[in-house]
Copies of this chain bind each other. A is one copy, B any other.
Amino acid sequence: MRELFHQQMNRLNDTIVLEAKAVAKAMNRASIAMRDANLAKAEKVIDADRKIDLLERSIDEMGVSILARQAPVASDLRVVVSALRLSAILEQMGDLARHIAYVARSRYPHVVLPDTALGVLVQMTEHAGAMSENMVRLLETRDLQFANAIEEEDDYLDDLHEKTFEYVLDDELDLTRQEIIDIILLGRYLERFGDHAVSVAQRVQFMVNGMQDPGDPFADVDLTEI
């Protein structure tokens, strides 16, 4: 029973790492798809998203199965509950990479944006790619230096996101309305991707360091007021 339990916990972890790797690969491919108007890469991101969705579902089923049959407690329970949360965050990250690939595909054979704007967004995708690779390492090793690296990268991403607004608001720069739409949406997707990576980092910190004792969690919600 304990042997099976450990096998299942390991398999749960491996599957989360696999989902994170699929997300990292999707973001790296989406970056190239956007930068080079590379249709094949865009298609791969879009196809691979179904795989990420399946991995999410597998993780959820594994998690529920472990809860039902093994009734884990303490740190094992924390890992299982975190897995359920992580699988959902990673799935949303996969969707965001797919949105970027859609935009790249819709403008093929042209690149989606003029040079300057494209440059800022490509930089954003590269930081997003680096964040997702740190996320894979964090999930593989549980070494919290990778959580810190993710949070630092997110600051760069936010700075670049600010730049996209400055760029759009500069009336000197000639942009079509479609280009403005693309800059704003791509910027938003990438900002959200970064936020989700930070959520993953925080979840793993919680998983490693444990939760603070919530006392009696049923005591402190006032159900009469909203």
Contact = CB atoms under 8 A, between A and B. Distances in A.
The binding surface of chain A is classed by DSSP as helix
A72 to B, nearest CB: 8
Q: Which of A15, A48, A218 has the most CB of B within 10 A?
A: A218
B68 A18 contact: no
Contacts of A218: 7-8, 11, 62, 65
A191 to B, nearest CB: 11
A3 interface: no
Contacts of A14: 223
Contact of A184 (B63, B169, B181): B181
A18 B226 contact: yes
Interface in A37-53: 48, 51
Copies assembled: 2
Interface in A181-226: 181, 184-185, 188, 211, 214, 217-218, 220-221, 223, 226
Interface residues of A, number: 49
A105 interface: no
Interface stretch (A77-85, A117-125, A138-146, A148-156): A77-85
Contacts of A111: none
Given A71-B71, A73-B68, A169-B177, A58 B188 contact: no
Nearest to A62: B217
Contacts of A221: 11, 15, 18, 55, 58
Contacts of A184: 180-181, 184-185
Contacts of A180: 168, 177, 180-181, 184
Nearest to A222: B18
A8 B218 CA distance: 7
Interface in A83-129: 84-85, 88
Interface of A: 7-8, 11, 14-15, 18, 21-22, 25, 48, 51, 55, 58, 60-65, 67-68, 71, 73-74, 77-78, 81, 84-85, 88, 165, 168-169, 171, 177-178, 180-181, 184-185, 188, 211, 214, 217-218, 220-221, 223, 226
